[in-house]
Each structure stands twice: as structure tokens, then as C-alpha cells.
A and B are shown apart, each in its own frame.
Chain A
Amino acid sequence: MKSGRSLTSPIFLRLASVAIPVTVWQLLALLFPERLIPGPIPVIDTLARNVVTGVLFTHLLDTIRRVLTGLLLSLMIGTCLGLLMGIRKFFNDLLDPIVIILVSFPSVAWAVMALIWFGLSELSVIFFVVAICSPVFAIGIREGVRTVDSDTVRMARSFGHTSWGITRSVVIPTIYPYLLAASRYGLGLAWKLTIIAELLGMQSGIGYQLGFNYGVLRMDQVFAWTLSFAIVILVSDTLFLRMLERHLLNWRAEITT
């Protein structure tokens, strides 16, 4: 502890911090019938059975494939829009209201429309993710472009660089951290959107499993799939954060050398 007056060690507190949610869960499980809230042990048991039968991996892989495809496409579209809006005031005035409307558009409505338009196909899920994530990326990138130092741009221009050259060598390096931050947020969003679409209209994936087990009132399976999903999110987010940190440190290292 900073102040040094506490006798308890931070490691003990960290452990307590992990133990609190588990204890709360166990207590709730004791209070409610198992049909409603199963405790940690039966849930881990169910999860283990899903791993052994292989169900977990087939559905997980389907979800991951959809998330990544949607994310990459929205990254491309969102970055282009964000660059346009950040660099040219004309496009910003034109597109800003559209982006605001798209952002306040309820996500479920997109899902429902996509499913009616494209049927119960992969295309629906991907369209859904792209429709919601692209404006988010566009806004993030635009904020990044706005922080570009206008003096540097003017200098580059006075040295005779073309617009494209300036974009490549001044704008893009500046917005890189914004791009990474938006990607991290987008990744979290894409996960959640994909499972909503799967619940509404797919025959595989984590969302499908959640919806199916909700339909047949199998609470232990609902909890087990939730837990698997939470673990995957934690791992992907931690990996991403590592990547982000490493990149930022690399950049700093380049500056000092």
C-alpha cells in the first residue's frame, strides 16, 4: 500500500478481489434453485463436457470467423470514411449527420433488417457487424486526424508533397494510436454484435447456443457458454492490449535511437 499503514498485503487483496465475484455467484446459487442459477461447480462441469465433446470449438470457431471478417471490413470502410471526414471539411459537414444517425440507430433493427434482406446466411451477420462498427471506426479515425499538427502539414506542403504523400507520411502515423484504440473497442463490439445476430438467425456459434439453451431452459448450459465467451473475450482483449503496448513502446524506442 502506498501509505504503508495497512497490514494486509496487496496480494491478499488481489486474491480477495478475485474471490468476491465467485463467492457472490456461489451465494446466489445457494439462494436460488439450481434450475434458475447454477453454481460454479456444475457450470464448470458442463463447460468441461462441452470441451470434451468438441461442441465448444466448432461453435467458437464459427463465431470467431464471423467476428474477424466483420471487423476487417468495417476497419477498411471506417478508416476511409474517417480519413475523408477528418481531412476534408466538406465531407465532414456532409457525412457527420449521417454518422450521428447511424450511431443512434438501434443495433437490433439492423440485425432484423439484415436477416430479412439476406436471409439466414453468413452475409447477414457480416453486414450487421459492418453497419454498426464502421461509423464507430469513422468517428475514432476522424478524432485522430483532427489531432494532426497543421504546421507539420503546412511544412510538408511547402516542401512540395502531394496530398497523398502528406496523408501517408504525416496523417497515418499520427492516427495510428487512434486506429489501435478504435480497433480494441471495435473488437469488443463485434463480439457482442455477432452473438446477437447468431441468436436471432444462425444455426451455429455461441449466440446460437445461448438462444437454443434459453429456449429449452437449460440454465447450466447458458452459464457455461457465457463463461466460455467471457474467457475468450478476456484472452483476446489481453492479447490485443499487449500488441498495443508493444507497438507504442516500439515507436518510442525508435524515437530515442
Chain B
Amino acid sequence: MNIKRAIRTTAGPVALILGWEMLSVLLPPGWAPGPVRTVETLVSNATAGILWTNLADTVRRTWLGFLIGFGAGVLVGSFMGLRRLGDILLEYSIYIIMTIPSLAWIIIAILSIGPNEYAGIAVTAVIIFPSVVIAIREGVRSLDKGLLLMARSVGSSTSKILRSVVIPWIYPYMFGSARYAISLAWKLTVITELVGLPSGVGRMLDLYYRRLDMEQVFAWTLAITLLILVIDNVILKNVEGVAFKWRKQAGI
């Protein structure tokens, strides 16, 4: 039974690669380079070193932007969840940040900050910020009020309550929103690079799009997709496993 299932789950990616190969054969040449050509191009980029420098730029921008936006989002979200005043005051600001299209943020950031590192990081941070705020606010709101009262009545300080009641409670909300935010952050960084940064995967996609070089477009797409898949599914899952170890120990 399990073997059957494993076969079926691997059948998907295998079918995808086969379909890709078939497309590349059926379509007019230059439309869709096949898997072998793409991997070859990818490898030659890797040996030339241009793959690593650009990937590193993209990874750095994504993670810095993510960390800043996420940190700010957790702080503001907790504030809005705990204090009704903060919630009412900031609600529209959050909604407006969300409504402004990401492309407009990108253009505004590049024009006012300049085509540099800071613009890329700022865009990513600003755009993921509202989604984190909303998730954390919901988490804090769902907090058991009785637990808070109890902690207060046994004389815990506010910082102690935050540390040992509020933060563990919103852990799952934090991870949920972090997963969403990081997947968004990748895409945003690539778009920002494409619109106006001097390096990174997005820059390369734009460069080869202008030259109509489909092999390179495919190679860079493959590189970033693999990277995202690995980081999201392997690394984040492991971090989550470590962070939730206490749950298993507590028998939850």
C-alpha cells in the first residue's frame, strides 16, 4: 500500500518532467528547451559562478526583507490584538498598505530610495507586513482570557505574561503566517529585481527575456524554483519541528 502510494506521489513530478520533455520536442525550436538543455545551462551558469552570486543576492534580500517585515508585523499585530485602541487606530493603515498593488510599491521604492539593496528589502518588508499583522492579531485575539486573568492574579508582571502566555499561544499563528510571508517574499524580491535592481535572479530573467533567450529563462526559473522548494519544504519544516518539540513532549 505504502509503496503504491510512493509510486503515485513520485509519478507526478516524473510526469511533469516527461511532459516538459514532450512539449520541448513538439513545440517549435526555441519555445521550450527540454529538461536536459535547461540543466546543462544551469550547470554552466553554476561553473561560471554567475548562478551563485545572483542567487545569494536574491536570498539575502528575501530573508532580510522577510525578517524585518515579519518582526514588525508580529509587534504591531500583538499590539493590535491586545489593545482595542491600537486596533481601531491602525486598521485603515494596514488595509491601505494591503490594497496598494505590490508593483506600485516596487516602483515607488525604486524611484524614491534608488535602485539599490535598501529598495529591494523595503519592498519585501512592507508588503508582507500587513499579512503578518492580521494573522498575529487573530492569534492574540483567540487568546484564552481566563489564562491571562489567572496569570495576572498570581502576580506575574506584564513582560512575564507576554513571555510565558502570549508568545507560546501565538506560536502556531506565527509559523502559519511566516510560511505564507516567506513564499510571498521570494516572489516579491524577484519582481523587484526584474523591475529595477542591478542583480539577482529577477535581473537575470529580465535580461534574458529581452534577449529572447529561452534556455537561460528556463535555467534561472528552475534554479529559483528548486531553491524555494528546498527552503520552504525542508528547512522551514525542520525549524517548525524544533520549535514545536515542546508540544510533543507535553503530549499535545
Interface of B, helix, strand, loop or mixed by DSSP: helix
In the complex, are the beta carbons of A105 and B225 less than 8 A apart? yes
State whether the Cβ of A1 lies closer than 8 Å to any Cβ in chain B: yes
The B198-252 residues at the A interface (CB cut-off 8 A) are 201-202, 205-206, 209, 212, 214, 217-218, 220-221, 224-225, 228-229, 232-233
**Chain A contacts for B92, CB-based, 8 A:** 17-18, 20-21
**Chain A contacts for B212, CB-based, 8 A:** 116
Contact mask for chain A residues 151-176; partner B; CB cutoff 8 A; 1 contact, 0 none: 00000000000000000000000000
Q: Given A104-B229, A107-B191, is A230 in contact with B103 using a C-beta cutoff of 8 Å?
A: no
Q: Given A13-B89, A106-B228, is A195 in contact with B101 using a C-beta cutoff of 8 Å?
A: yes
In the complex, are the beta carbons of A10 and B104 less than 8 A apart? no
**Chain B contacts for A95, CB-based, 8 A:** 12
Bound-state CA distance A94–B232 (Å) is: 21
**Chain A contacts for B8, CB-based, 8 A:** 90, 93-94
Interface of A, helix, strand, loop or mixed by DSSP: helix
Q: Given A98-B16, A106-B225, A112-B217, is A17 in contact with B111 using a C-beta cutoff of 8 Å?
A: no
- Choose among B89, B96, B102, B186 the residue that contacts A192 (Cβ–Cβ < 8 A): B102
In the complex, are the beta carbons of B108 and A226 less than 8 A apart? yes
State whether the Cβ of B144 lies closer than 8 Å to any Cβ in chain A: no
Q: Given A17-B90, A192-B103, is A94 in contact with B84 using a C-beta cutoff of 8 Å?
A: no
Bound-state CA distance A21–B190 (Å) is: 28
- Choose among B12, B186, B195 the residue that contacts A199 (Cβ–Cβ < 8 A): B195
**Chain A contacts for B10, CB-based, 8 A:** 97
The B70-115 residues at the A interface (CB cut-off 8 A) are 84-85, 88-93, 96, 99-104, 107-108, 110-112
State whether the Cβ of A250 lies closer than 8 Å to any Cβ in chain B: no
- Choose among B202, B214, B225 the residue that contacts A116 (Cβ–Cβ < 8 A): B214
Q: Which of A73-81, A142-150, A214-222 is found at the contact surface with chain B?
A: A214-222
Contact mask for chain A residues 78-122; partner B; CB cutoff 8 A; 1 contact, 0 none: 000000000000100111111011011111110011011100000
Bound-state CA distance A164–B67 (Å) is: 48
**Chain B contacts for A229, CB-based, 8 A:** 100-101, 104
Give, as a whole number of angstroms, the nearest-CB distance from A95 to chain B: 6
Interface size on A, residues (CB 8 A): 56
Q: Given A13-B88, A98-B16, A104-B225, is A117 in contact with B209 using a C-beta cutoff of 8 Å?
A: no
In the complex, are the beta carbons of B108 and A116 less than 8 A apart? no
**Chain B contacts for A207, CB-based, 8 A:** 103
**Chain A contacts for B91, CB-based, 8 A:** 17
**Chain A contacts for B5, CB-based, 8 A:** 93
In the complex, are the beta carbons of B205 and A108 less than 8 A apart? yes
Give, as a whole number of angstroms, the nearest-CB distance from A226 to chain B: 4
- Choose among A101, A116, A234 the residue that contacts B217 (Cβ–Cβ < 8 A): A116
Give, as a whole number of angstroms, the nearest-CB distance from B44 to chain A: 19
In the complex, are the beta carbons of A17 and B93 less than 8 A apart? yes
Give, as a whole number of angstroms, the nearest-CB distance from A75 to chain B: 21
Bound-state CA distance A94–B195 (Å) is: 36
The B168-214 residues at the A interface (CB cut-off 8 A) are 183, 186-187, 190-191, 194-195, 201-202, 205-206, 209, 212, 214
State whether the Cβ of A202 lies closer than 8 Å to any Cβ in chain B: no
In the complex, are the beta carbons of B191 and A104 less than 8 A apart? no
In the complex, are the beta carbons of A6 and B85 less than 8 A apart? yes
State whether the Cβ of B155 lies closer than 8 Å to any Cβ in chain A: no
Closest to B196 in A: A214
Q: Given A90-B8, A214-B107, is A105 in contact with B13 using a C-beta cutoff of 8 Å?
A: no
Give, as a whole number of angstroms, the nearest-CB distance from A140 to chain B: 14
20 further A-B pairs in the complex, CB-CB below 8 A; given A104-B225, A106-B201, A106-B224: A16-B88, A36-B111, A94-B8, A95-B12, A98-B12, A98-B16, A104-B183, A106-B187, A106-B221, A109-B190, A109-B220, A112-B206, A113-B217, A199-B195, A210-B104, A214-B107, A226-B108, A229-B104, A230-B99, A230-B101
Give the A-binding residues of B (Cβ under 8 A): 5, 8-13, 15-16, 31-32, 84-85, 88-93, 96, 99-104, 107-108, 110-112, 183, 186-187, 190-191, 194-195, 201-202, 205-206, 209, 212, 214, 217-218, 220-221, 224-225, 228-229, 232-233
